[in-house]
Amino acid sequence: MLAINENYFPAILTTERKHSSNVLDRLAQAYKTPLTAILAASAGLSEMGHLSSTQADLVALIGKQANMLSDLTTRLLAAARMDASEVTVHQTPVGVESIIDGAVTSQRGRSANRKVLAEIEDDTITLCCDRYLILILLTQYLDNASKYSIVGTTITIRAVYVNSKVLFSVHNFGPVIPEADRERVFDCDSAACSCLNYASGAGVGLSVAKRIASIHGGNVWVTSSEQEGTTFFAAIPDQSQRRSSP
């Protein structure tokens, strides 16, 4: 009788997952070089001047779309490295207002017919975190809200300081996420999640958001109802408070 090591299949799955992450990492790196060239060329054409109105619009469109692809590629790289457990966290004190501003700025040109409103309880709030990773988390939340909110409605991103944590949230009005799916929506491997029908591919980006919160010692969750709308939360502990505690 063939004896099967109970650790055999998990080991295979882990190896396959790392292989997929390595492939994704290489593809994302390969995209970076031509995207950089496209962005440089479009910027050069704009600076040359003497373009007709139509030509200027086309150059601006090239630059805008190339920037969006570059941002997506950056997030794919981050996703691949986190999936392969290769991410390094660089935590420094950062102004929460600057993180929010960066996330909102990244949405310019993407949130057509949708207003993005930022609300910060106290603009002096700081958080000891990896700014780059938290920015990816919030950008993913805003991307999701932009894609699936009702046209003409307002998307609201908030930050409050409570119990030595910064609580980030992004609210929008759109399709309701069923209660049974509110945990699984953060799992990119959850094929059974019915809400992925409304947010195709959402699990991949949201799983990255969950991982970013986790490596900061935080957590994520979502609330959703027809009356109150949908709100994605991320609670990130302030590590500077932990280090200063006796």
pLDDT at 238 over 90: no
pLDDT at 191 over 70: no
Q: Which has the higher per-residue pLDDT, 190 or 128?
A: 128
> C-alpha 110: how far from its chain's center?
14
Q: Which CATH number fits domain 8-83: 1.10.287, 1.20.1050, 3.40.140, 2.60.40?
A: 1.10.287
What band does 31 get if pLDDT is binned at 50, 70 and 90?
Answer: low
Burial class (CB in 10 A: 0-12, 13-18, 19+), 2: exposed
* Strand stretches in 103-228, DSSP E: 115-120, 126-129, 154-162, 165-172, 219-225
Read off the pLDDT of each residue in 189-217 and give the average, rounded to a whole number. 66
Domain locations along the chain: 8-83, 92-244
Contact between 114 and 48 (Cβ < 8 Å): no
Distance in angstroms (rounded) separating the CA atoms of residues 189 and 57: 40
* Strand stretches in 151-218, DSSP E: 154-162, 165-172
Q: What is the dihedral of CA 131, 136, 141, 147, to 10 degrees?
A: 140
- Among 18-27, 28-37, 76-85, 151-160, name the most confident range: 151-160
pLDDT at 95 over 80: yes
Q: What is the pTM of this model?
A: 0.69
Contact between 79 and 208 (Cβ < 8 Å): yes
For tokens 């953060």, name the residue.
Answer: 186
Residues 39-86 pLDDT 10s? 788 788 788 877 888 888 888 878 777 776 777 666 666 665 565 455
Cα-atom radius of gyration of the chain, to the nearest Å?
Answer: 20
Could you give phi then psi for residue 29, rounded to 5 degrees? -65, -40
State the CATH class of domain 92-244.
alpha beta
SS3 label, residue 93: strand
* Strand stretches in 81-149, DSSP E: 92-95, 115-120, 126-129
Q: What is the mean pLDDT of the chain?
A: 77
Upper half-sphere CA count for residue 162 (Cβ side, 13 Å): 10
